[in-house]
A and B are shown apart, each in its own frame.
Chain A
């Protein structure tokens, strides 16, 4: 399965809905999308991963890269994920301490901490 990406604006946040598989082949597409958003001035991103079937370290690297980019503009990058098999990858790499992870898009959009 390929990667699907769509974006929408909710208030001052940009929600990126990701679906399919994020791996060494598809991750560059996600990277391009995040870079483009930041270049266009969207510094508060919510990446909705509820429809992601597979995520590997290349995908993690892209998300970390996105986080660095928005932070350079005092922005934020929040994740939405309830899938245990995806959350496990964030846990074993220690990245749960780096990303705010929310259970719903509404929750992520309203978060201000």
Chain B
């Protein structure tokens, strides 16, 4: 069961909120303090990408962020509702190539490159109902007590 589920309309201004919520839940789940910056950045990248996909495809549906706290792992799933390959290509191209290709709007590829550079355990899938980026981080033995 999801520990926290967040749905927000595909507007850039809400991505910061998603970052803050994800970092807060990750901290509570026992993700190491040094890794929280990575969690914040990775979830921001995934949400920015989903927002971009929804907006460029004219979707009014919200972006979905699922934060799952388990015994030894903390997972984040960011889902978009853009079907097919556009919902999530699986092989991110190197960021520098994307950035320097004058014909490409390289931010989408660069976002995936940042995620795969930051997170060891990441998968990108896409299907008829949309794409999902799943990221997992190990959790320290004893969560912070209040």
Q: Which residues of A contact B (CB under 8 A)?
A: 21, 23-25, 54, 56-58, 60-61, 64, 68, 85, 89, 92-95, 97-98
How many A-B Cβ pairs are below 8 Å?
Answer: 76
A24, B114: Cβ atoms closer than 8 Å? no
Within 8 A of A (CB), among B6-51: 12-13, 15-16, 19, 37, 40-41, 44-45, 47-48, 51
Count residues of chain B with CB under 8 A from any CB of chain A. Answer: 28
Question: B94 to chain A: which residues have CB within 8 Å?
Answer: 94
Please tell me if the beta carbons of B41 and A98 are within 8 angstroms of each other in the complex: no
Residue B113 at the A interface, CB < 8 A? Answer: yes
CA distance A54 to B107 in the complex (A): 16
Return the chain B residue nearest A92 by Cβ: B117
Q: Which residue of A lies closest to B11 (CB)?
A: A25
Of B81-89, B96-104, B121-129, which binds chain A?
Answer: B96-104
Query: Is B48 a contact of A98 with CB atoms below 8 Å?
Result: no
- The answer, yes or no, to whether B52 is at the interface (CB within 8 Å) is yes
> Closest residue to B44 on the A side, CB-wise?
A56
A10, chain B: closest CB distance, angstroms: 27
A32 to chain B, nearest CB (A): 15
Kindly list the 8 A-B residue pairs having the minimum CB-CB distance in the complex, ordered from nearest. Answer: A92-B117, A93-B95, A94-B96, A25-B12, A24-B48, A57-B110, A61-B107, A57-B111
Whether B111 and A56, one on each chain, are in contact in the complex, defined by CB atoms closer than 8 angstroms, is: yes
Determine whether the beta carbon of B100 is less than 8 Å from that of A98. Answer: yes
Q: Which of A57, A68, A85, A94 contacts B107 (CB 8 A)?
A: A57
Q: A21-B16, A24-B52, A92-B117 are in contact. Are A56 and B41 (CB under 8 A)?
A: yes
Query: Could you jot down 9 A-B contacts, CB within 8 Å?
Result: A25-B15, A56-B45, A57-B95, A57-B110, A57-B113, A58-B111, A61-B107, A64-B99, A93-B95
Rounded to whole Å, the gap between the CB of B23 and the closest CB of chain A is 11
Q: For the complex, is B138 an interface residue (Cβ under 8 Å from A)?
A: no
B108, closest chain A residue (CB): A57
Let me know if A94 and B95 touch, CB within 8 A: yes
- CB proximity of B20 to chain A, nearest CB, Å: 11
Best-surrounded residue of B15, B107, B113, B114 (most CB of chain A within 10 A): B107
Residue pair B40, A58 in contact (C-beta under 8 Å): no
Which partner residue on chain A sits nearest B13 by CB separation? A25
Residues of A within 8 A of B73 (CB): none
In the complex, what residues of A have CB within 8 A of residue B118's CB? 92
